[in-house]
Structure 1
């Protein structure tokens, strides 16, 4: 009797899956007939939770994934670093401390904490960090610093952004590079007022915080009143110039966000100002150096022994992954990739770390030709993966003890738990669905080279079949 029931259950499951496949195919074929998909490349794959194939359309074809690539980085980080992993920032000093006066330098170093000074976490905001640093200095009995504030940025290699990133991405907030000492997610906001008419100049009103040694060149003009923000910020790591180009709506105030050219210098300047307000005077200047011994303002950085007096720890990795996936923070992906490289793969640059991440996933059974990584976030158009590879990674993650952390971090989009990906000409979704009948599915759909504006409506029609 039990055998008969199992056979009957399997037959019903097969019939149910056949109906889902038929429904998927009908909607999918109608979508393909749209002019938007005339020149498109598509990879689409669906399985049940046990890996049984439900639908396959070019499932092994590698395409640019945009931010759905973040699932590979997030899953690997949770597996190899652990959901409780925390980054550490260290304050130390050299020289002699006597009667409250430090005759030496104050140092700040970090292992790349991407959340340092972020606004996303309660108790971890910029003022929280600076207050704790002040308290630690006070507990040491330091009332004055005769030396410099030195930001030690030597943890990672000097190349802050991956080589495959586009020039018109790097200066914007989503193209922020990775430093050994990050600050405020390496992002700043500019409030700009459009002119009253199309073609008029724009006016910079305010910054989210005061820059140090940065020249702003505003070539942004006003578009029509009903236009959208088409601004682009051009700059590069260590640059002294920020060039703003494009258009914003006329008659309106817009906020555009850029990538901070030198976060280590920025945090040092803010430390000095904050300590001055707290009556701890710093006589020297703010200096930075990296593993290449690059010196700010040609100042010498002395290699003295340091006394460590304070450690500051980031939120746990589970919280970082939450925001990494929910808000698609590219900085987090690149930092996690470099962290894996440094701590797990014994590599210290993005290129080699990305190659090892690929090897990690091929070791999980993904065919090598179905994935290629140039970064950890998916911003580079040189990345690719197939829908089948993404489904395989998602299915593997489902069997891990920390899966709930990953699942909770995924955004809910159109009623489905899934990660989205968007760059020019690319739209992708990958995630999980539980149907009204209780069947569970894992899916990925990747579209490259589509035309005619948003294709969300078309893709949601396809994925709604799995609900």
Structure 2
């Protein structure tokens, strides 16, 4: 009996290590003997025809030791999509700290006399992606409380905390109109508490009169954008086919297509061209709403704050550990790129992608990642040139557990099947049953022909494992395959 048991175990281990083939394709994988059955389960999942022609990297490690217990093309470099944010997030927590805050300042080089500020008013941004219209309202109220009623000078936005490169190098024209590829500036604003900095929300409401254009609403209201409305309201029941896009190189927002009468609202988050002027426009509106007027000839422009300018008011953002919730749960690309520039500014005195990515690379290497097999081109994962093996992703997930900020990192990951947006995040509608619901905590990633899921799952035995699934060159919906792999991990029980 012992001999038969030994032979059976050896056979299972060989199946886990040996190329698994269905006659049409070959998949190679390795697994340790203790997890051989898990390896066989995952190998079967990877035979899904939706992966035909795709490349899939899978890596699983013991969280407590980092031992690699399963790998399928684990050393193959693949595009990580938003799994890149795992590296960026770890670097930001290590470099900036959980309690780091961005700041925004209002300064002047003038003097106040009899309610008149004689001199220029400066709005100096230092990267805060969380500024809302209400924050500019508070700035204006603070100035009014100082007795300022008129300004004889210019309104100047200072965005020199970072360089003037607005988009990372691999962003395409087809993306840059939308929130997920918004321009990065040290001076910016967000439309709501998702904090998609540098964007406005454009809503197209059906008109009550058929044949008339849709009614357009921009949130927050700003004179910076120019609405070109070519839409048409059609009879109820007809097809809704409407697009909302910004014209390249301008803030012309073009609405085209049809909206059925009595139908639903169409809503898009549109990226602003030159968001520094967006923040300035909102601030000017807030000043006017507080009764503060500009007198004489004046300009609204960009410039650098003089070193002798006096601070009038300021705002510090929420702590980084709070910002990590919308950043990671909702996979906010803008936050990732701002964090990169901020790390470059703090470590090397230069708020650029070059220096920010250098910090991410250096931190990743310190975490034990093999940087000779990794290519980093941006901080968010938008680039199709980023490359990382799944084995290095799980390597990072093991390493961060030893850091004092690990709980912040872990808490920021989307949680499978939990409906609350700021808990479940991008996993709120996936893996909604046992044993994955509330168990799998992982970062999603999606690009054209790229899908990824990497994080943590606890087995039926109570063992915490880290995993990474990177799928490239897919032409079908492959997130169910990622979910099946995560479910196989969460369902796994070691043989007795």
- Shared fold by TM > 0.5? yes
- The answer to whether the 8 Å contact 1:153/1:288 transfers is no
Counterpart residue number, 2:115: 100
- The answer to whether the 8 Å contact 2:368/2:399 transfers is no
| C-alpha displacement of 1:368 | 2.0
Query: Relative to structure 2, which stretch is displaced further, 304-313 or 162-171?
Result: 304-313
Please give the alpha-carbon distance, in whole angstroms, between the structure 2 residues aligned to 1:34 and 1:436.
Answer: 25
Superposed CA RMSD in Å reads 2.9
Please give the alpha-carbon distance, in whole angstroms, between the structure 1 residues aligned to 2:177 and 2:111.
Answer: 41
| C-alpha displacement of 1:310 | 1.6
Counterpart residue number, 1:79: 94
- The answer to whether the 8 Å contact 1:111/1:181 transfers is yes
* 1:119-134 matches, cutoff 5 A: 126-127=133-134, 129-134=135-140
SS at match of 1:279: coil
Please give the alpha-carbon distance, in whole angstroms, between the structure 1 residues aligned to 2:239 and 2:395.
Answer: 41
Please give the alpha-carbon distance, in whole angstroms, between the structure 2 residues aligned to 1:26 and 1:386.
Answer: 21
Counterpart residue number, 1:11: none
* Gap change, CA 1:195 and 1:279, over 3 Å in 2: closer
Q: 2:453 aligns with which of 414, 419, 429?
A: 429
Counterpart residue number, 1:9: none
Q: 2:409 aligns with which of 406, 409, 418?
A: 406
Instruction: Tell me if 1:172 matches 2:178.
Output: yes
Q: 2:366 aligns with which of 363, 367, 370?
A: 363
* 1:1-150 matches, cutoff 5 A: 21-49=35-63, 50-117=65-132, 126-127=133-134, 129-150=135-156
Please give the alpha-carbon distance, in whole angstroms, between the structure 2 residues aligned to 1:391 and 1:290.
Answer: 45
Question: Can you list the C-alpha shifts for 1:67-91, whole angstroms capped at 9, x where unaligned?
Answer: 1110111111001110001111111
Q: 1:270 aligns with which of 282, 287, 301?
A: 282
Counterpart residue number, 2:199: 187
Please give the alpha-carbon distance, in whole angstroms, between the structure 2 residues aligned to 1:372 and 1:228.
Answer: 42
* Gap change, CA 1:281 and 1:195, over 3 Å in 2: closer
Counterpart residue number, 1:160: 166
Counterpart residue number, 2:267: 255
Please give the alpha-carbon distance, in whole angstroms, between the structure 2 residues aligned to 1:51 and 1:221.
Answer: 58
Gaps of at least 5 residues in structure 1 are: 1-13, 118-125, 292-301
Query: Relative to structure 2, which stretch is displaced further, 145-154 or 358-367?
Result: 358-367
SS at match of 1:270: helix
Question: Can you list the C-alpha shifts for 1:318-362, whole angstroms capped at 9, x where unaligned?
Answer: 011121101111110000000011111344321342244223312
Query: Relative to structure 2, which stretch is displaced further, 415-424 or 263-272?
Result: 263-272
Question: Can you list the C-alpha shifts for 1:344-392, whole angstroms capped at 9, x where unaligned?
Answer: 1344321342244223312332112332111111111111211111111
Q: 1:443 aligns with which of 467, 479, 494?
A: 467
Counterpart residue number, 1:5: none
Counterpart residue number, 2:17: none
- The answer to whether the 8 Å contact 1:24/1:462 transfers is no
| C-alpha displacement of 1:226 | 9.7
- The answer to whether the 8 Å contact 1:234/1:242 transfers is yes
- The answer to whether the 8 Å contact 2:224/2:281 transfers is no
Question: Can you list the C-alpha shifts for 1:224-253, whole angstroms capped at 9, x where unaligned?
Answer: 9798988463445x6243345788889543
Question: Can you list the C-alpha shifts for 1:411-461, whole angstroms capped at 9, x where unaligned?
Answer: 102331000001111110111111221101011010011122x21222211
| C-alpha displacement of 1:140 | 2.6
- The answer to whether the 8 Å contact 1:167/1:234 transfers is no
* Gap change, CA 1:33 and 1:304, over 3 Å in 2: closer
- The answer to whether the 8 Å contact 1:168/1:234 transfers is no
* Gap change, CA 1:347 and 1:144, over 3 Å in 2: closer
Which fold has the larger relative contact order, with Cα–Cα distance below 8 Å and residues 6 or more apart in sequence?
Answer: 1
Instruction: Tell me if 1:466 matches 2:469.
Output: no
Instruction: Tell me if 1:338 matches 2:333.
Output: no
Query: Normalization by structure 2: what TM-score?
Result: 0.79
Please give the alpha-carbon distance, in whole angstroms, between the structure 2 residues aligned to 1:387 and 1:39.
Answer: 18
| C-alpha displacement of 1:213 | 3.9
Question: Can you list the C-alpha shifts for 1:35-76, whole angstroms capped at 9, x where unaligned?
Answer: 211110111100001111110111111111111110111111
Counterpart residue number, 1:216: 227
Query: Relative to structure 2, which stretch is displaced further, 69-78 or 138-147?
Result: 138-147
- The answer to whether the 8 Å contact 2:156/2:303 transfers is no
Query: Normalization by structure 1: what TM-score?
Result: 0.84
- The answer to whether the 8 Å contact 2:214/2:233 transfers is no
* 1:208-247 matches, cutoff 5 A: 208-218=219-229, 231=243, 233-236=245-248, 239-243=250-254
Please give the alpha-carbon distance, in whole angstroms, between the structure 2 residues aligned to 1:45 and 1:228.
Answer: 43
* 1:371-382 matches, cutoff 5 A: 371-382=374-385
